[in-house]
Amino acid sequence: MLMKILVLNAGSSSLKYQLFNWDNQQVEAKGNVEKIWIEGSFIKHKNHEGNKSEFPGNLANHREALQKVLEILVNPQHGALERLEDINAVGHRMVHGGEIFKTSALVNAKIMEILHSLIPLAPLHNPANIIGIEAVQEILPWVPNVVVFDTAFFQSMTPEHYLYALPMEYYEKYKIRKYGFHGTSHQYITQRACELLGKDYNTTNIISCHVGNGASIACIQNGKALETSLGFTPLEGLIMGTRCGDIDPAIVPFLIKNEGLSADEIDTILNKKSGVLGLYNGKSSDMRDIEEGYVAGKEPETQILKMYVNRIVRYIGGYAALMNGVEVIVMAAGILERSPLTRALIMKQLERMGASFDETKNDFREQERVITTPESKITVIVVPTDEEYMIAKDTYELVK
């Protein structure tokens, strides 16, 4: 059977899409709708030949955005489909699956009910994802929908790894615990790394680093995620573009008292005004700007990049100890796929641990490549992530 799968990733004001032809594993079209709800919405679209086009439009909600995307997909000039009936299934990225979803799921009324019940755990993300499903149900009512969760891969964590040392009543009452995010990416890059290196996924100790604007590190043992740096929300762990990562939690009540901040205000500061952006006095959250300053020997850029790398190295070291050794380290996402400098700064810290960096192999972007020597005890490999592919794959498995 010819299998065409549409993958949707709905954000609060955006809708990313990719159309897969599963039979020949080709991406036939992809794009992003930006500024939904906001004036000046537009769609950036790329067809199967890689030709780019941009479509303006005032898109008042996700339903209108999806409608417009579908129009483009059947447009003979830009599209990839003869008719909408050729779409066999839609796969949706869903940020939070709570403790309920340990794998992806085929959507039905009961699943929708559970998804709604999980909104308190991800009040900013899950509603947008749910609206994406509802839009498909309205416009393409014959198409099965599949939900793929950012948290599912980390449901293998055991209590000694996911509990916080808080009174147990808060776990029992609110399910406050570590969930982890970017699971689809960590699963993809670690499985792909083992495939490329000819290693058995179920017996290899792996550390995976997904470092882009959002960033996390995970460790995988016996084919299962053991622990990861993102937590109850995507705020814990590494320094990110605008998120603070690990801080002393006592800073929160201190700021509330001394700055007179509300809970929402402090949330905005920690999620949107901290991280690289905060350290850079609000100038930019983009690692390219930081690297430019670092190369020119400027401050505060040099200090920011050092802090950024230190945090990554601490997690790698911690996870290596936790697994009693690591054989493969995988690097992925916006920064580690594209930045030889940040990769090199991390690698220089891992030398004594047993990762022999081969600098001559490091000058590339967005390719699947090993950056350690053949003799290295730890193999470090860059694997560009592909969350959409994983979503399409799970969708295929569930609807075939």
In the chain, where does DSSP find H-type helix?
62-73, 109-117, 126-139, 159-162, 168-174, 183-197, 251-259, 263-272, 275-279, 287-295, 301-322, 333-338, 340-350, 387-399
CB of 236 or CB of 291, closer to ligand ADP:
291
Q: What x-and-dash track marks residues 224-243 binding ligand ADP by CB under 6 A?
A: -----------------x--
Quote the tokens at residue 110: 């009961």
Q: How far is CA 368 from CA 25, 195, 299, 362, 393, in A?
A: 18, 11, 33, 11, 20
In angstroms, give the least distance from the CB of 117 to ligand ADP.
Answer: 27
Binding to ligand ADP by residue 287, rule CB under 6 A? Answer: yes
Q: How far is the CB of 365 from ligand ADP (least distance, A)?
A: 6
Distance CA 203, CA 400 (A): 30
Greatest CA separation for the chain = 64
Q: Which is nearer to ligand ADP, 42 or 280 (by Cβ)?
A: 280
Nearest alpha-carbon partner for 189 in 366, 339, 355, 41: 366
Residue 338 interacts with ligand ADP (CB under 6 A)?
Answer: yes
Applying CB under 6 A, the span of 1-9, 114-122, 192-200, 330-338 interacting with ligand ADP comes to 330-338
Q: Are 277 and 285 contacting, i.e. CB atoms less than 8 angstroms apart?
A: yes
Query: Taking CB under 6 A as the rule, does residue 333 contact ligand ADP?
Result: yes
Nearer to ligand ADP, 212 or 278 (CB): 212
Six token digits for residue 169: 């009543």
Minimum distance of ligand ADP from residue 202's CB (angstroms): 28
Neighbours of 89 (CB within 10 A): 24
Q: Provide the terminal-to-terminal Cα distance of the chain, rounded to the nearest Å.
A: 9
Query: What residues does 34 pair with on adjacent strands?
Result: 42
Options 58, 61, 259, 288; binder of ligand ADP; rule CB under 6 A: 288
What is the DSSP secondary-structure string of 182-235? Answer: -HHHHHHHHHHHHHHHT--TTT--EEEEEESSSEEEEEEETTEEEEES--SSTT
| Least separation in angstroms between CB 203 and ligand ADP | 30
Stretch that binds ligand ADP, among 12-20, 102-110, 208-216, 356-364 (CB under 6 A): 208-216
* 334 near ligand ADP (CB under 6 A): yes
Residue closer to ligand ADP by CB (options 116, 298) is 298
CA pair distance 398, 379, nearest whole angstrom = 34
Q: Which stretch binds ligand ADP (CB under 6 A): 245-253, 266-274, 334-342, 343-351?
A: 334-342
- With contacts defined by CB under 6 A, name the span among 87-95, 255-263, 285-293, 376-384 that binds ligand ADP: 285-293
Token pair recorded at residue 346: 């991390």
Pairwise CA distance, residues 94 & 395, whole Å: 13
Burial class (CB in 10 A: 0-12, 13-18, 19+), 255: middle
Number of H helices and E strands in the chain, helices first, is 14, 14
> Pick from 146, 330, 335, 383: which binds ligand ADP (CB under 6 A)?
335
- Indicate which residue of 23, 86, 150, 363 is catalytic: 150
Does 31 bind ligand ADP (CB under 6 A)? Our answer is no
Please enumerate in sequence order all residues whose Cβ is within 8 A of that of 203, keeping only pairs 6 or more positions apart, or say none: 222, 223
Query: Given the rule CB under 6 A, which of 32-40, 207-215, 219-227, 370-378 is the region that contacts ligand ADP?
Result: 207-215
| Shorter beta-carbon distance to ligand ADP: residue 132 or 241 | 241
Cβ closest to ligand ADP, residue 187 vs residue 221: 187
Measured from the CB atom, is 75 or 213 closer to ligand ADP?
A: 213
Closest to ligand ADP by CB, 79 or 237:
237
Q: Which 290-319 positions form the footprint of ligand ADP (CB under 6 A)?
A: 291
Give the shortest CB-333-to-ligand ADP separation in angstroms. 4
The verdict on whether 150 is a catalytic residue reads: yes
213 near ligand ADP, rule: CB under 6 A: yes
Q: What are the tokens at 304?
A: 């920011």
Least gap, CB of 185 to ligand ADP (angstroms) = 9
The contact set with ligand ADP (CB under 6 A) reads: 212-214, 241, 286-288, 291, 333-335, 338-339
**Catalytic (active-site) positions:** 150
